[in-house]
Structures are given as structure tokens and as C-alpha cells.
Amino acid sequence: MTEKIELTNLSKEELYEEIEKLGEKKFRAKQLWQWIYFRGATDFSEMTNLSLDLRNKLQEKYTITRPKIVAEQISVDKTHKWLLEFNDKERVEMVYIPEKDRGAVCISTQVGCAMGCKFCHTGSQKFTRNLTVSEIVGQFMVARDAYNEWPSPTDETRYLSNIVVMGMGEPLNNLDNVVKALNIITDCEGIGISRRRVTMSTSGIAPRIVEAMQKTGVRLAISLHAPNNTIRSQIMPINDKFHIEEIMKACAEYQQGDHSRYITFEYLLLKNINDKPEHAQELISLLKKYKIRALFNLIPFNPWPGCGFAPSDRKDVEVFSQILEKAGFAAPIRVARGQDILAACGQLKSKKSQEQKKLKTTRAIKLMV
């Protein structure tokens, strides 16, 4: 028997072609798309406006799969973290960070990450593979299932309002699948998250930045974390391949001629490494030199066992922020969320695999809510 085709791996065009191949009219494909992405259906038998014959054919040839939830935790501040498992038992994390009347879902793009940033827990785990389109889109669908947000309510009542591609993995190293997944997520006849509400973060794969932004139309964030190549190369090995200057040039090219394109520079403050006033001054000169319109997101470091870094003192973080703000850059200090549930990227996965080593059977993995 030939293997069933996973429908959530297909772009809209591909799904339409697939259904037309079954001898069905285009509007049937449109209805199917809406069942999957507007209503969140996972079972063909629910799709009552499709003929029984078509539902049976779909059942025979296709699947609509969600990643499996193997563990989840909810913090006292309502930050919600899931450990998700795919068909081949590989796992990634997803986090929902609620604000007062909205919130962002942080999704992963790879199992592990090959970039090996020294401060990052995911970077300390080996890179295994890219996520498929289905696995990327499926994460957000799991969150919608959990918060009962099908079909898409209006923006006013939507709690899962934003997406940040800031989970495990480097999205620009899995660009084809990420582009396809974001096009599905932002399609207005389906999940319908506006491109302005999606932010993709990269560690700075300079030659792919412009292409990635052209193909997705989402917002850009750069994990900068250092004002010069010496410091950046110490903490981010990828900097040896793509220097800060190359990243800045790509950012300037992306912004050319479009004043609405602001870039967020993420800046993790590591004690005695990149957190001094002279580093803030150097950052200002750098952005001015390349005429980049940007804001900073100052991130308090979330330490993990064996990382070898410490978070900066609060006072130093505040001074750093003030220097940037005086120069005209917004530089809010990110509030640490989900501290009690190890919300830094990669930590739940590591914790679970250590536990798993101790336990004899995977059945012993229990929900931690």
C-alpha cells in the first residue's frame, strides 16, 4: 500500500492540484483548505459539506496530523510550554507567552540547532534534522487546539495573536519549509495570522536575509548579542562565517526604500562579556554607520546548568538600556517569563531526555501540568 500523503505538508496550490487530480472542482479544494486551516478539523468525517464519496477518498489517500504532546507545563505567570513529538519520535518545544489581551506563540524550525551558540541550551544539543512544513504549521495548530481558538475569532478576542519564529533551530537554514509554512499560517482563508504579527529571528545567515524577508513578508529580528566581531565570535561561532558587517549590509538592503521595515535586534546581556556602557556606544555607532532603523530587545540571560555564563546585574542592564534610548533607539528590557518552568529555549527537552535516560520505559513520561 502506498503511504498516505500528509495534507499539511502541501502549499495551497499543491493542495488544490491534489484535489483536482481526484476529479473534483476547485471549490471543493477550497472547502477542504477551510476545514483544515479555518476550522482546525483533523478528521475527514467532520467535513460534512463534502460528499461522502470524496470524504472516503480523502480518508484513503491522505492524513491531517498534529504533533503529539508528550509533556506540558504552565507557569505561575501563565506561560505555557509544550514538548511535542513527531512521527519519528523527534521532539521540539513550543511556548505560548500570554500578554493581557493577546499573546505570542514561539515555534521551532529544527530539531536541535547546528549553530552552537555558547549561551543557548538548544545550541548545546546536537542538530538532528529540519522540521517539515507540516511539523512547523502543526505546532501553531496544537496551540489553537489547546486554547480553543478555531475557527479564527476576530482580532479582539484572539489570544494567540502573534507568532515568533524563535524556538529551537535556525529558520534560515530551513528556509524552503519555513517559507511554505509561514505562507500557510498567514493565508487569510485559513489560520489568517497577519504577516505583521509574525516575527522571524535569525542568528545572522547574512546571504539569506533579504531572500527570506522577500519570500515571507514577516518582521525581521536579528540575534545580535555583541557590538563587534571579537565578542560575537566568542559566543556565536556562526560569526566567523558571516561577520557583523555582512549582516548590517543585508539589513540595510532589506530596509532600502521601505520606511515601515523596522528591525528588532535581540541582545542577550551576559555579565562582563557584552554588558558595559562602551558596548552600548559601539552598538549605536554600528547602527548609525549602516543607517539601520531598529529597536533593541534587551534579554536578561536565562542561565542553565553548565552554561558558564551569568546574567548581568540589573543595574548594568538598566544603564545599557538608557544609553541606547538616549541615542534614539527603543531598548526595552524583556521581562523574563516562565522562570519556574525553565522557559529558556531547549530546557524542557533536555530535562525530559535526562529523565528518560533514568526511566526504563517511555510510558513513564507523564504530563507535568
Q: For residues 163 and 160, give the distance between their C-alpha atoms in angstroms, rounded to a whole number.
A: 8
Catalytic, 99? Answer: no
Our finding on whether 120 is near ligand SF4 (CB under 6 A) is: yes
**69 bridge partner residues:** 84
Q: What number of CA atoms fall less than 13 Å from residue 115's CA on the CB side?
A: 30
Which of residues 344, 349, 351, 352 is near ligand SAH by CB under 6 A? 344
Q: In the stretch 90-129, what mask flags binding to ligand SAH with x, by CB under 6 A?
A: -----------------------------xxx--------
- CA distances (Å), origin 288, targets 96, 224, 329: 34, 15, 11
Our finding on whether 123 is near ligand SF4 (CB under 6 A) is: yes
Among positions 152-211, residues that touch ligand SAH (CB under 6 A) are 166, 170, 201-203
Binding segment (CB under 6 A) for ligand SF4, from list 162-170, 210-218, 293-301, 322-330:
162-170
On whether the CB atoms of residues 220 and 213 are closer than 8 A, the answer is yes
**214 bridge partner residues:** none
DSSP state of 166: -
Q: How far is the CB of 299 from ligand SAH (least distance, A)?
A: 5
Best CA proximity match to 92, nearest among 357, 347, 335, 286:
347
Our finding on whether 203 is near ligand SF4 (CB under 6 A) is: yes
**Would you mind telling me the total number of residues written for the chain in this entry?**
369
Among positions 74-113, residues that touch ligand SF4 (CB under 6 A) are 113
Q: How far is the CB of 177 from ligand SAH (least distance, A)?
A: 15
Number of residues that bind ligand SF4 (CB under 6 A): 12
Our finding on whether 266 is near ligand SAH (CB under 6 A) is: yes
Catalytic, 120? Answer: no
Q: What number of CA atoms fall less than 13 Å from residue 285's CA on the CB side?
A: 9
DSSP state of 242: S
Query: Considering 18, 24, 93, 135, which one is annotated as catalytic?
Result: 93
C-alpha cell of 7?
495534507
Query: Considering 106, 113, 117, 345, which one is annotated as catalytic?
Result: 345
Report the residue number, 5 or 310, with the smaller CB distance to ligand SAH: 310
Best CA proximity match to 232, nearest among 138, 148, 119, 323:
119
| Site residues, ligand SAH (CB under 6 A) | 119-121, 166, 170, 201-203, 223, 266, 268, 299, 301-302, 344-345
Give the residue numbers marked as catalytic.
Answer: 93, 345
